[in-house]
Structure 1
Amino acid sequence: MIRSRWARWLARRIPAATRVQLNQRRIFIMPNRVGAAFSVMQILLLLAAINYENSLAYGLTFLLASVFVVAILHTYRNFTGLILKAGISGAVFVGEQARFRVRLESDGRAHQAVALGWPPASLQMVDVPANGQSECELDMPAQQRGWLRPQRLRVESRFPLGILVAWSWVDLDQAVLVYPRPLAGDLPLASGGSPDEQDEGARATGQGADDYQGLKTYQPGDNRRRLHWKAYSRGQGLLVKDFAALAGRDLWLDLQGVEGDLETRLSLLCYWVLQLDAGQQAYGLRLPGMELAPDYGETHREACLRALALYGLMP
């Protein structure tokens, strides 16, 4: 209950945004363990000064108290005005480390020894130059498919004396799409078209990976995985292997045609999306309630992987 109330209070005080600038409403400052020991020492010095009526002890006590107050001002000054922006983060597969990019910018003054991260993991420390910016990458394990949305980011600084810590909890509204983990297996194939089109009377047409047509001269944009290095070593120039697709044999990756639990089936389809895309073979994807027509290329691959990552999950 306390944590939920704390989260609601933070959401009101520091709402989620892709750009957050720290100010007096968003900064908290308290003595850390070193600062607490420093305060206890001052109290003991004050008691000793009162007991022995020693002017030097009084002077040292008040001097240290002044240093403590000045440290509060400088710790706050080093932290206030810092701007945090969410960077662009790419998609990953289950089991990989999702990388969240955060950009820190200065509003004029330099910001020293700024640490950020997600406790209990260690925080990453950066310095932000005056009128400049710094960028850091924060890693988080991707353990399940779908959208990975991290908790609030802790940003803190103990500059200059290390006896006080100024911190804030910011939500940069970041998310990384996590694809299923690719799982090798037999091709879960469902052929499109009529039975007559699936017989041996199918003809080669267009670019694909079904029928070997011979060698052709390399052109910019051709798949480099099909380079014929033996011909190149014989001095015949840079050639690539030419394949053609068979008409009437559209490849469909169908979730209903795969056995196993849901995550295993999605992982298998993910593997074959990557394999067919690498071979520039046109393929389609069928999921209950969704169908992506046969195609190939980066846009089609990303659409299929996204559909697999979000299938069956709440929006």
Structure 2
Amino acid sequence: MASASYKLSPWLHRWLNRRIPAAKHQRLSHRSIFILPSGFGLMWLLLSLLLFLFGTNYQNNLVIGLSLLLGSIFVSAILYSYRNLAGLRLSALPAPDVYAGETVAIPLKVTADSQLYQINLSYPAGDVVTVKEVASQGQIAALPLPTRHRGYLSPGRLLVESHYPLGLCRVWSWVDMDNPLLVFPAYHPDKVRLHSIPGGGEDSPLYQFGIDEFCGLKSWHPGESLKQVAWKQFAQGRGMLSKEFSDPHGDPVWLQLPANLCGEALEQALETLCWQVDQLAKQNCVNWGLQLDKQQLPPAAGEAQRIACLRALAVYQPLTMTEASDEQQ
């Protein structure tokens, strides 16, 4: 898999923003397609010119005819190269969760009005992905892109390129799919400790919170687990009864970001919190929240709580000196 190595200049970015605005759905047409001879195409034209000069100089009609044939093939290649991108439709799809330092596969749906061939797709910092055939039913292309830091990441303009059919012309387009990614902090494993803010500051171990407690008996119904059957009561002749359990409901507990951190210490603390959030979600812990300076995510549970906390960690910015002094006052 080849690696893309192009960088657009600022003035070209501004011109492209006016000519090809950002959108989650793009359809290539004459306004967004560019075409020039390739290196091989330039050599082809040079050969055609030399043959024409040679034929006219020596009055050789066969050589002149050959030069005209090569020229006509080149003109036909221009038309077919353009048709191989015209009508191509690209649609941005939601990207999977990614943590800093990982490589994310950005999904794009690729469809076309007619059969297209050998389409190369790449982002500036990613690898080139070749779609051999594009048809009306479409397919999903996953474009790899490395990540380094947490926060929002813009992949940049997508390079769509083709040299089909003969390699005489390079036809391409730069499209902005308007698909910024949110990169979560990297993992930094550490012991998970929850803090009870209302109760006054004692650390609460993860597995001490949310344990089911016995709260009574009810009639057993077919299909329920036999592990829940109250066998002692059954032996006493009271019939089939099953045990009921409930979660204890104490003060809400919180994951907290230590105060007065900056630089690498802050990033490591955010990475630790990121790992702890995932651990709490895996353990199905209930009634926990996240506190980042003035920002608080109220206690909850489930996948929605995990995503909300990871997003808050990804975009967190420390308080400025003015904000910190106002908070202390």
**In which range does the TM-score fall when normalised by the shorter chain?**
0.7 to 0.9
Give the direction of change, closer, same or farther, for the CA distance of 1:119–1:273 in structure 2 (3 Å limit): closer
Deviations, residues 77-96 of structure 1 (Å, cap 9, x unaligned): 12111111111212211111
Could you say what secondary structure the match of 1:105 adopts? Answer: strand
Q: Does the 8 Å contact 2:150/2:315 carry over to 1?
A: yes
Q: Where does structure 2 lack aligned partners over 5 or more consecutive residues?
A: 1-7, 215-219, 228-243, 319-329
1:39 alignment partner in structure 2:
45
Could you say what secondary structure the match of 1:51 adopts? Answer: helix
How far residue 120 of structure 1 moved from its aligned partner, in angstroms, is 6.8
Give the direction of change, closer, same or farther, for the CA distance of 1:190–1:129 in structure 2 (3 Å limit): closer
CA distance in 1, matches of 2:146, 2:184: 13
Q: Where does structure 1 lack aligned partners over 5 or more consecutive residues?
A: 201-206, 221-226, 228-241
Q: 1:181 aligned to 2:190?
A: no
1:230 alignment partner in structure 2:
none
1:74 alignment partner in structure 2:
80
Q: How does 1:166-205 map to 2 (within 5 A)?
A: 166-195=171-200
Question: Where has structure 1 moved over 6 Å in runs of 4 or more?
Answer: 197-200
Identity of aligned residues (%): 37
How far residue 121 of structure 1 moved from its aligned partner, in angstroms, is 4.8
2:266 alignment partner in structure 1:
262
Q: Which residue, 287, 296, 308 being the options, matches 1:291?
A: 296
Give the direction of change, closer, same or farther, for the CA distance of 1:243–1:292 in structure 2 (3 Å limit): farther
Letter of the 1:30 partner, please give it. Answer: L
2:70 alignment partner in structure 1:
64
CA distance in 1, matches of 2:51, 2:35: 25
Give the direction of change, closer, same or farther, for the CA distance of 1:32–1:243 in structure 2 (3 Å limit): farther
CA distance in 1, matches of 2:15, 2:154: 19
2:285 alignment partner in structure 1:
281
Letter of the 2:279 partner, please give it. Answer: Q
CA distance in 2, matches of 1:164, 1:14: 22
1:164 alignment partner in structure 2:
169
CA distance in 2, matches of 1:78, 1:248: 65
TM-score by length of 2: 0.77
CA distance in 2, matches of 1:193, 1:268: 23
CA distance in 1, matches of 2:259, 2:282: 23
CA distance in 2, matches of 1:281, 1:122: 40
How far residue 119 of structure 1 moved from its aligned partner, in angstroms, is 4.4
Give the direction of change, closer, same or farther, for the CA distance of 1:245–1:161 in structure 2 (3 Å limit): same
2:18 alignment partner in structure 1:
12
CA distance in 2, matches of 1:281, 1:120: 39
CA distance in 2, matches of 1:162, 1:258: 59
Give the direction of change, closer, same or farther, for the CA distance of 1:243–1:149 in structure 2 (3 Å limit): farther
Deviates more, 1:95-104 or 1:54-63: 95-104
Could you say what secondary structure the match of 2:267 adopts? Answer: helix
Could you say what secondary structure the match of 2:35 adopts? Answer: strand
CA distance in 1, matches of 2:69, 2:98: 55
Give the direction of change, closer, same or farther, for the CA distance of 1:281–1:130 in structure 2 (3 Å limit): closer
Q: Does the 8 Å contact 2:156/2:176 carry over to 1?
A: yes
How far residue 199 of structure 1 moved from its aligned partner, in angstroms, is 11
Q: Does the 8 Å contact 2:124/2:155 carry over to 1?
A: no
Give the direction of change, closer, same or farther, for the CA distance of 1:71–1:15 in structure 2 (3 Å limit): same
1:22 alignment partner in structure 2:
28
Q: Does the 8 Å contact 1:91/1:178 carry over to 2?
A: yes
2:4 alignment partner in structure 1:
none
Q: Does the 8 Å contact 2:48/2:70 carry over to 1?
A: yes
Could you say what secondary structure the match of 1:275 adopts? Answer: helix
TM-score by length of 1: 0.80
Q: Does the 8 Å contact 2:37/2:168 carry over to 1?
A: yes
Q: Does the 8 Å contact 2:126/2:145 carry over to 1?
A: no
Q: Does the 8 Å contact 1:127/1:134 carry over to 2?
A: no
2:146 alignment partner in structure 1:
141
Q: Number of paired residues?
A: 281
Q: Alignment RMSD, CA only?
A: 3.0
1:106 alignment partner in structure 2:
112
How far residue 4 of structure 1 moved from its aligned partner, in angstroms, is 1.1
How far residue 180 of structure 1 moved from its aligned partner, in angstroms, is 0.5
CA distance in 2, matches of 1:79, 1:199: 61
CA distance in 2, matches of 1:44, 1:257: 76
CA distance in 1, matches of 2:93, 2:53: 53
